[in-house]
Structure 1
Amino acid sequence: MSKAILILCLALLTGCVGHYQQPAPEAPHATLNAQWGSNILMSGGTQVYYGFYDNHCHDTQETGVLGAISASQPEKNQFLIKPDRRIYLQAASMGIKTRNGDEILTHRTCLNISSFIPKNGATYQVSHSAPKSGCSLEVIDMQTGKAPDSLVVEKITKECGLGD
């Protein structure tokens, strides 16, 4: 199953899927500031965010890849999203983990989807974490320091890369 997720993520990054159409800076928008979450399951790796307008990750001309997190260029970790419309934010983390300090590497992937209705002018911090088991996507409204009232943790469907 993890190979399927890796292939999906690579396809999304290489152009097989569209890119989320970020609004112009002068147009109404909300801002997502992406940060590396705590990551015990994986060493290094990649974290990628996607934005869709439905819970089945249907790619349209307006939706798709938001971008990957850059450790060396944090200015690339900011994404503009359209306000006042529910966005389904998908986070994918991929990386490797050594077993018991041996040279044996295990490939790990983690995928989450949460949705919320961003407010115009608001800034949200998002982080995707992979603790000892499972993974989670956190969305925080920077004005309140809390999750947005409209936040829903979504079930991952087959169309989004996993599920029944």
Structure 2
Amino acid sequence: MLIREFDNQDWSQLWPIIEDVVRAEETFPYDPEMTADAAYTIWVEAPPGRTVVAVDGDRVLGSAKMGTNRPGPGAHVSTASFLVAADARGRGVGTALCRDALAWARRRGYAGMQFNAVVEVNRSAVELYRREGFEVVGTVPGAFRHPTLGRVGLHVMYQEF
């Protein structure tokens, strides 16, 4: 597996991954009716942000986007989001993407990385982030409407560098 910068030619493989994750309504607080154009605008970061893909040969297995969490006085903290294709989960793709994003943020001189909305019942993501050094610093109760579990919390997770 290789992690590399996103190229527009990757979009034809990346959009179906995004669409599947968003339409499932289990892990991302994005509109499940979002279009490919809207997803592209949200997912593909303009510099100084960054979007990468994890590939195995020519196949896109997942993606990460990263950048500044908030402008102005909050610009010293980074953020990132991750997506992995359903049939590629459990193979270390998410871990590799997370480590890549953390290394990028450290190279850029950020003071830490904050995840703003980690669905508390997304156990694999929460466990991964904890393994990589993140802590839950707060949870907004009932902030995410899960399709089978009802309203569940959204964690704010943080790692100081």
Which TM-score applies when normalising by structure 2? 0.30
Q: Which has the higher strand share?
A: 1
Question: Which structure is richer in relative contact order (CA contacts within 8 A, separation 6 or more)?
Answer: 1
Q: Which has the higher helix share?
A: 2
Which TM-score applies when normalising by structure 1? 0.30
